Chain A
Amino acid sequence: MAEAKLAEKPVAATGAEVLAVKDLQAWYGESHILHGINFNVKAGEVVTLLGRNGAGKTTTLKSVMGIIGKRSGSIRFNNDEIIRASSDRIARKGIAFCPEERGIFSSLDVRENLMLPPTVRAGGLSLDQIFTLFPNLKERLTSQGTKLSGGEQQMLAIARILRTGARFLMLDEPTEGLAPVIIQQIGHTIARLKSEGFTILLVEQNFRFASTVADRYYIVEHGKVIDGFANSELSANMDKLHTYLGV
């Protein structure tokens, strides 16, 4: 069966730098969390930040999104400097964020949750395309958002940012706490989005999952990027990786 294309836009050529993060530092109140993060993401790639709990992966995503109040260094998105921009401006530039805690709103039903993020660009997925990806959501449109199962909530959290037309997605631990069959479905979805030309920055604890979708990895430790390699170099780096992640 031929599957309908998800987006009308042509697949972006790999190579152009979409996100370039240089010497990113960030603070929560008085505590200094990021001590100089450096990495980049190219168009059409899936890049995964790996690292132990508390290494600074989530803080890195939140800093790119402009949610962390105090940050310094440089974050360039499509060559625009966004280190000082407010998060609503950053979202309007075409970055979409799916937070670790999913952020499904309990006072909104599923449809309202799905329709909440405003369109920032033309070319987002239509509702039909979204229901092709996530058939479960279609049957639950009138349910309260937080009445969905964990897996359905994760799908809703991803689905709603696909509507907006943003082509750069940041997914924070999309597989956390989910059953293997759901993790598989999310893996298929990410692969599908990649094939449609979306660029994805992923944070994962689940290394086995990440290895099924990622093009490149960066290792984050104590608020710094300490290593990075491509998926093709994965087997050569397995020993190092085990040391970094302590698995």
Chain B
Amino acid sequence: MQALYAQLLVGLINGSFYALLSLGLAVIFGMLNIINFAHGALYMMGAFVAYFLLNLAGLNYWWALLVAPVVVGIFGMILERTMLQWLTGLDHLYGLLLTFGIALIVQGVFQNYFGSSGLPYAIPDQLKGGVNLGFMFLPIYRGWVVVFSLVVCLATWYLIEKTQLGAYLRAATENPTLVRAFGINVPRMITLTYGLGVGLAALAGVLSAPINQVRPLMGADLIIVVFAVVVIGGMGSIMGSIITGFALGVIEGLTKYFYPEASNTVVFVLMVLVLLVKPTGLTGRAA
């Protein structure tokens, strides 16, 4: 049983990253109509910013949680202003290819300077150690990642579904021309939205650094699974991408316990099944 709980926890951790990343992808897709393939590279940049802050500026993990999303978010907004905005109105394929190219360039640059092996990033002192829950041993840092990710996901959901700013966002997703004709600077809102989605990716990168080390290709490995999660969940819904993210992490964890051979493919098997049965995804709205 211990092993089952341990795999469940690993599943929840992975699910946290899936949720944070697919949430950002859903938000970006909604507003910009772009399938952001650079998401994995920006997640990796988040982890590297944390690494630089610690080793070059002496700023610890808590600062990184705050600063990395802002730094990477600004980088993302520059990408949007200089490149992505010109793709408005074109087929999804152009945005996908452009962001895929950006991902390869960013990863190539980091690989050039840091190789492919991982750089260590220590768990912050406050979150070291673990607690014995009776039925399992819970490393505090891992518990923190799950809880913090959940809180960030729910806060993002609240922002988009329950606030005036979120109403602007949802309305502009449907009809940007009319929202602009009401007096809202929609282009600026699109840039900020891209920054928000990218910032969520960077935040996931910081959370991941003490668990998975800091590697130039950490995002490339993860993003493929995240895209499968997005396909399964459907692009249309914020809560859908959060729930699907966590659920698929858990399903992966359970598979690792019951049938480890399939643990790396179960998500893709589900993706194929969902595509066959409901191509818009479990919670997606028809385009």
* A interface with B by C-beta (< 8 Å): 65-67, 86-88, 90-92, 96-97, 99, 103, 105-108, 112, 115-118, 120, 161, 164
Instruction: Closest B residue to A109 by CB, please name it.
Output: B167
B167 contacts A164, C-beta separation under 8 Å? no
Residue B185 lies at the interface, judged by CB distance under 8 Å to chain A: yes
Q: In chain B, residues 147-182, which have Cβ atoms closer than 8 Å to a Cβ of chain A?
A: 164, 167-168, 170-171, 173-175, 177-182
Q: In chain B, residues 179-226, which have Cβ atoms closer than 8 Å to a Cβ of chain A?
A: 179-186
- A88-B182, A88-B184, A107-B173 are known contacts; what are 12 more A-B pairs with Cβ within 8 Å? A67-B180, A67-B181, A87-B177, A87-B180, A88-B180, A88-B181, A92-B183, A97-B181, A99-B178, A103-B178, A107-B170, A115-B164
* Cβ of A92 to closest chain B Cβ, rounded Å: 5
By secondary structure, the B interface counts as helix
Which size class do B's interface residues fall under? 10 to 19
B181 contacts A65, C-beta separation under 8 Å? yes
Count of inter-chain pairs, beta carbons less than 8 A: 57
Q: A118 contacts which of B170, B178, B184 (Cβ < 8 Å)?
A: B184
* Cβ of B232 to closest chain A Cβ, rounded Å: 21
From known contacts A108-B167, A112-B167, infer whether A118 and B174 are also in contact, taking CB-CB under 8 Å: no
Instruction: Closest A residue to B182 by CB, please name it.
Output: A117
For B178, the chain A residues whose CB sits under 8 A away are 97, 99, 103
* Cβ of B173 to closest chain A Cβ, rounded Å: 7
Instruction: Closest B residue to A119 by CB, please name it.
Output: B183
B180 contacts A108, C-beta separation under 8 Å? no
For B181, the chain A residues whose CB sits under 8 A away are 65-67, 87-88, 90-91, 97
Instruction: Closest B residue to A95 by CB, please name it.
Output: B181
